[in-house]
Structure formats: structure tokens, C-alpha cells
Amino acid sequence: MKWMLDLHFEKPHCLIHHRDPILLLGSCFTDNIGLALSKLYFSTLSNPGGILFDPDSLCRHLERALDGRFVHEEEIVFANERYQSLDFHSDFAALNEKDAIRNMNGAIDAIASFLPHARHLIITLGSAFAYRYKKTGQLVANCHQFPADAFEKELLTVDHIVQRFSSLIPGLQKTYPDLQLIFTVSPVRHIRDGVVANNRSKAHLIEAVHQLQGTFEQVYYFPAYEWIIDVLRDYRWYDLDLVHPNYAATESVFDEFCRVCMDDWTREQLKELRQLRNANEHRPRFPDTEAHRKFLKNNEIKRIEMQKKMPWIKF
């Protein structure tokens, strides 16, 4: 008896090689994939501007990096005893206005500095719901615990999402012609929107990305959402909140991501890279023993051999 569907996912036009730098932006699920890649010694930059859930916020951050548009004083709001921007995660709030601006502009600069070297840009969309600040009429990335009546909640249409990325992608292609965009939709359920509204939101994201994939050769959709919903499809794969995929689920998604999106040579190296990472993270009970000294020596030999094979790795 089979317990899981056998699904066949198309591979991207350009497969990931281990030496390829990877920029990751988007929801909290982005951080899970980014962490898994960094543990295997890929060169990554993950969410330097903080977690971003909706497509419009993601586009604005990338546009800032492309255009060199930094944060200025007029964009800063003071509330709850902190200086912050509605376009940035609360992690960038500060007690001093100059510190807040410096932190935010550092994030923009990090994206702008990494993009020229990046070979792949992984964008994880979390929700099609966005919030519009009534005072300015602008869509925001974070409400920062402002009073709820300060915002209007709206569901971004498929056309809006497609238009925003269709305006952004040609600029990315022109400036970075070798950059591949890998879109995913986060399997995390935004249950506070309600089950029906959450599914409607995910449907808008999925349809928008498929339209983009049909328009732009460099756009690829990796079905992380479908892997959780249609392959694992059981609450045992979720955390205690029954909303976030648990460790086993994210590992399963990452394994499928490696199988589908990486070239054969890179996948062949993953086992040795995992062994090396595990050895580096090992904490011995008895460090002053001959057995542990032998372990360290063998691990150093493996590291040197791997460095010769993959000289771009920074151990």
C-alpha cells in the first residue's frame, strides 16, 4: 500500500550549483530554507530587511535596492516609544531615530550589494492580504501594533500581484541577466484570516506566480505549498499551533527542493557537507581524550579535502 502520492515536479531552467550565491526574501518560511542552505555551506543572504509576507512589500524592498532608494526621516514614525518604518519589520525599530534609519538602510544596502553576485533569488509569498495606512493611503509591510482602525485590510488581486512583479522583473533582468527567480508560496496557514480567506489568499498567490512563470523565462515556481498540502497532508507534520509546518515537514520540503532545483553534482556533495556540519557542531562529553583528538584530526582532513574540491566555501 502506498502512503504518499508520487508527484513529478518540473525542474527549473537553471539548476542551482553549490557555488551559486542565493538571495532569499519573504515570509518566515524563507528563513527555514535559508538556514538549511547555510548549514550546507551555500552562500546565502536571507531576509536582511526582515520578514515580509505580502507581494507588494517584497516588490518595494527590491525596488529600493535596485533604485538605491534609502529610508529618509520623513518615512519614520514614532509610536510606542520607538522610531520605526511601516515598510520594515519591528526588528528595525530603535529608541533613536538615526539608529533606526541606519539599520534600515543597512538592510537595503545588503540586498543591493548581494544582488550583483546572486545567481538565484528565492521569493516566498506568505499572504495576498495587505494593509493600507489610512493616514497616507500607502500599503505597509508591518502594522507595528498600531490601533487596528489606523489601517484598512485588503486582499490583493491576482492582477495587482502580476502587475507589480511584471514592473519589477524586467529591471532585474536588464541589470542582472543571469539571475533566476524561484517563487514559492508559504505552506504556513494564516489562520487569523479564517480558513476560507486563507485559502483564497493562497489561491491568488499561486495563480499570480503561474502567470508570471508563463511570461518570464527566468521565473520558476517550486511547489512547497503543494508538497505540504498534497503529499504530507496530515496534522502530524505541523507544530503544536497546527499552523506552522514542523521540523520534519520543513526538512521534507527542503529535501524535495534539493532534488528538483539542484544539479546532480551539487546533490552528490550534500551528504559529505552534512557530515562535516554535524561534526563541526558536535559537543564532546570528554574533550581531553585520545578518541576526541582523533575525531578532530579526521574531521580536519575531511575539511581540507572538501575545501580543495569546493574552494568557494567559507568554513
Domain boundaries, the chain: 22-263
> Model pTM?
0.92
CA dihedral 27, 33, 34, 35 (to 10 degrees): 120
Contact 124, 206 (CB under 8 A): no
- Could you give the maximum distance between any two Cα atoms of the chain, in Å? 68
Q: Flag whether pLDDT at 290 surpasses 90.
A: no
Q: What are phi and psi of 118, to 5 degrees?
A: -70, 140
Portion of the chain with pLDDT greater than 70, in percent: 100
Question: What is the average per-residue pLDDT within 179-193?
Answer: 92
What is the structure's pLDDT at 184? 96
Task: Give the 3-state DSSP-derived string for the chain, with helices as H, strands as E and coil as C.
Answer: CCCCCCCCCCCCCCCECCCCCEEEEECHHHHHHHHHHHHCCCCEEECCCCCCCCHHHHHHHHHHHHHCCCCCHHHCEEECCEEECCCCCHHHCECCHHHHHHHHHHHHHHHHHHCCCCCEEEEEECCCEEEEECCCCEEECCCCCCCHHHEEEEECCHHHHHHHHHHHHHHHHHHCCCCEEEEEECCCCCHHHCHHHHHHHHHHHHHHHHHHHHHCCCEEECCHHHHHHHHHCCHHHECCCCCCECHHHHHHHHHHHHHHHECHHHHHHHHHHHHHHHHHHCCCCCCCCHHHHHHHHHHHHHHHHHHHHCCCCCC
Question: What is the average per-residue pLDDT within 1-12?
Answer: 78
What is the structure's pLDDT at 282? 80
Adjacent-strand bridge partners of 25: 123
What is the structure's pLDDT at 45? 96
Q: Flag whether pLDDT at 186 surpasses 80.
A: yes
What is the structure's pLDDT at 191? 85
Q: Flag whether pLDDT at 85 surpasses 80.
A: yes
Q: The cell 548549514 sits on which residue? A: 39
Q: Flag whether pLDDT at 236 surpasses 80.
A: yes
Q: Closest Cα to residue 32, out of 271, 193, 208, 255?
A: 255
Which three cell numbers, joined as nine digits, stand for 34?
A: 535559508
285 or 135, which is more confident: 135
Q: The cell 479564517 sits on which residue? A: 194
What is the structure's pLDDT at 17? 97
What is the structure's pLDDT at 296? 83
Q: Flag whether pLDDT at 6 surpasses 90.
A: no
Kindly report the average pLDDT of the chain as a whole number: 92
Query: Which pLDDT band holds residue 156 (cuts at 50, 70, 90)?
Result: very high
What is the structure's pLDDT at 42? 97
Q: Flag whether pLDDT at 140 surpasses 90.
A: yes
What is the structure's pLDDT at 5? 73
What is the structure's pLDDT at 309? 92
Question: What is the average per-residue pLDDT within 152-168?
Answer: 97
The CATH code that applies to domain 22-263 is 3.40.50
Q: Closest Cα to residue 303, out of 272, 281, 282, 266?
A: 272
Question: What is the average per-residue pLDDT within 137-145?
Answer: 90
Contact 231, 7 (CB under 8 A): yes
Adjacent-strand bridge partners of 133: 138, 151
Contact 208, 55 (CB under 8 A): yes
Q: What whole-number distance in Å separates Cα of residue 169 and Cα of residue 305?
A: 40
